């Protein structure tokens, strides 16, 4: 089987021929030309009720990716991007520019999806348990993530809530990014720090 046989056009509301995953593509998305996907499983945890909940540009490839949203989440992806086995986990908003390459194992999240304070975390655990009441969840902070044009994100890196990654920046493999990355710079480590220019 050739690589191009693995991908099909991403069409709102469609089902992919021969897809192992039985779900379809959400109808509430906007997709540019020549954007392709390997499986509708990308949308297994896509719960956005926004119209659209996803805006994706031209010539984008989604390969084993996961686009997971809460009900008010919005994901925006520019043109000529490649996401390979990466997860975008969105409560509010994740914006990715054009010519962005995101490697396997990368996670980009705009929320912690649970409270940080121990007492609130315990209350959240009780509220989300099978016997709990989801209406009693404590508030959880979220802050939009912005990845500008030309960014490269290496294997198993994590970009956390509120981070702004400047144009043409590089995030090294395994980095945990908790603060902004200036344009054209490289960060590495946990927590990620600027790599000094030679």
- pTM (2 decimals)? 0.91
Instruction: Report whether pLDDT(155) > 50.
Output: yes
Cα gap 87→158, rounded to integer Å: 10
Query: In 4-101, which ranges are continuous DSSP H helix?
Result: none
- Phi and psi angles of residue 188, each rounded to the nearest 5 degrees, phi first: -150, 155
Model confidence over 9-48: pLDDT tens digits?
999 999 999 999 999 999 999 999 999 999 999 999 999 9
Helix (H) or strand (E) holding 122: helix 118-128
Cα gap 33→60, rounded to integer Å: 9
Average pLDDT over residues 129-148: 86
Domains in the chain (CATH in brackets) are: 27-179 (2.160.10.10)
Give pLDDT, residue 58.
Answer: 98
Cα gap 72→79, rounded to integer Å: 23
């Amino acid at each position: 089987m050739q690589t191009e046989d693995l991908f099909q056009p991403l069409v709102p509301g469609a089902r992919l021929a021969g897809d192992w995953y039985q779900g379809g593509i959400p109808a509430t998305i906007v997709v540019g030309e020549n954007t392709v996907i390997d499986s509708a499983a990308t949308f297994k945890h896509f719960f956005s009720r926004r119209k659209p909940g996803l805006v994706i540009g031209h010539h984008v490839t989604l390969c084993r990716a996961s686009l997971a949203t809460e009900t008010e989440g919005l994901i925006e992806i520019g043109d000529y991007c490649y996401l390979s086995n990466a997860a975008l986990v969105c409560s509010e908003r994740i914006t990715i520019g054009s010519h962005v390459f995101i490697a396997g194992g990368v996670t980009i999240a705009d929320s912690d999806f649970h409270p940080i304070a121990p007492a609130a975390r315990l209350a959240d655990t009780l509220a989300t348990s099978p016997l709990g009441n989801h209406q009693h969840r404590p508030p959880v902070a979220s802050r939009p993530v912005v990845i500008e044009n030309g960014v490269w994100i290496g294997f198993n890196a994590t970009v956390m809530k509120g981070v702004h990654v400047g144009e043409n920046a590089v995030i090294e493999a395994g980095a945990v990014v908790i603060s902004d990355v200036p344009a054209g710079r490289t960060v590495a480590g946990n927590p990620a720090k600027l790599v000094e220019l030679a």
